[in-house]
Amino acid sequence: MTVQVNLLPDTKTIESQEETAFSHYDLVDTSFSAGEEAENNEQINENQFSFLLDDDVLAFYGHPNSRNMGILGRFSIEELDQKLTALAAEYEAVSGGRKVKKAFYIIYGTVWPKGEIGILGSETLMRYIDYGLQNDILVFIDHQIGRYEPVDALKRLLPWLRYPNVHLALDPEWRTDKPMVDFGHVTGEEVNLVQKVMEDYMIENNIPGERLLVIHQFNYMMLRNREVVRTDFNRVKLIHCMDGIGHPAMKRDSYAYNALASNMPLKGFKLFYNFGIPGAGYDNPMMTPKEVYDLKPRPYVIMYQ
């Protein structure tokens, strides 16, 4: 079984940046003027409804204000784009003709001690969204849930769907009031509920297109009763992502366990860089793009932390 080791953001980073702990039911001002909404809708690609038919997604994961939580927090937006472009070229060289869409995968709601959630500042998030809109880069907004219900975590993310390049993610590992001590989990029923709430929100708010929702799993505990998970929502495409750390053989075993959940056919796969952080796990050796594409079934969303 793969062992997951992640780090909470360091205290110095939290105190020196704009991330703030909110009551989870406080509202963030993500309202839009009519002009802004019209401008955003004009940028929607006509093929967005089914872009996974021809494209895969390659993402860099992390927190913009922490070097300890992934590659995304270690480089500027422009540098990340350059590195993503180079890595995407490696994947396209072995993709069999499929294109690769670049993405920023941003931890927006970070679990803190006792399961509280620190919310990333809107100004910081908008820098990635705006850059993505201008440079054809997707943005995944990830919530670690903490001590709250998954549907309440999701509701915190929904207003950002007004931007056509934004997709959402929930991480069951951190659905706990004892982060770094206990593993969290969600149930299949809860996954169905968040998909329904997400789709209903899109319909009610006239948000066109199709959006992805990523759910992470690297051990059997994280997604319980997963056989009941539905993937028949018209507007929400569920990505079942394996994000365990370890040797390629261990990662393949964990991915094979996820592959058994054939009711969730769209799979994701996560890889971990070694940044020399004490106590942090990493992949050794790192799987190559060809090795990733050789997984069965082939993953549609690939991310690097």
pLDDT tens-place string over residues 270-301: 999 999 999 999 999 999 999 999 999 999 99
C-alpha distances out from residue 175 to 96, 109, 243, Å: 38, 11, 16
Q: What pLDDT does residue 19 have? A: 54
159-213 pLDDT, tens digit each:
999 999 999 999 998 799 888 888 889 999 999 999 999 999 999 999 999 999 9
pTM, two decimals, is 0.86
- First vs last C-alpha separation in the chain: 20
pLDDT of residue 21: 45
Contact residues for 274 (Cβ-Cβ < 8 A; gap 6+): 282, 283, 284
What is the spatial distance between Cα 251 and Cα 187, in angstroms, rounded to a whole number? 23
Q: Give yes or no for a contact between 215 and 186, defined as CB atoms under 8 angstroms apart.
A: yes
Phi, psi of 220 (to 5 degrees): -65, -20
Helix (H) or strand (E) segment spanning residue 101: strand 99-111
Q: 16: pLDDT confidence band, cut at 50, 70 and 90? A: very low
DSSP state letter for 210: -
Is the pLDDT at 64 greater than 70? The verdict is yes
What is the per-residue pLDDT across 207-218, written as a single tens digit (0 to 9) for each?
999 999 999 999
pLDDT band at 221 (very low <50, low <70, confident <90, very high): confident
Q: Residue 260 in contact with residue 225, Cβ under 8 Å?
A: no
User: Which residue ranges form the domains of the chain, and what is each CATH number?
Assistant: 43-304 (3.20.20)
Note the pLDDT of residue 181.
81
Q: Do residues 253 and 216 touch, judged by C-beta distance below 8 A?
A: no
Of the pLDDT bands very low, low, confident and very high (cuts 50, 70, 90), residue 9 is: very low
Buried b or exposed e, range 265-282, using 16+ CB within 10 angstroms: ebbbbbbbbeeeeeebbb
pLDDT at 33 over 50: no
96-135 confidence digits (pLDDT tens): 999 999 999 999 999 999 999 999 999 999 999 999 999 9
**pLDDT above 90 coverage of the chain, percent:** 77
Q: In sequence order, what are the residues at sequence separation of 6 or more whose Cβ sits closer than 8 angstroms to the Cβ of residue 146?
A: 24, 109, 111, 112, 115, 116, 117, 153, 174, 175, 176, 177, 179
Helix (H, G, I), strand (E, B) or coil at 123: helix
The pairing of strands 99-111 and 55-62 is parallel
223 burial via Cβ count (<10 Å: 0-12, 13-18, 19+): buried
Other Cβ atoms within 10 Å of 99 Cβ, number: 12
Look-up of token digits 């992640």: 6
SS3 18: coil
Q: How far from 286 is each of 17, 80, 305, CA to CA, in Å?
A: 32, 19, 12
The number of residues in the chain equals 305
Residue 27 tokens read as 């509202």
Contacts of 166 (CB under 8 A, 6+ apart): 129, 138, 139, 140, 141, 160, 211
> CB neighbours of 113 closer than 8 A, spacing ≥ 6?
8, 179
The rounded mean pLDDT for the chain is 87
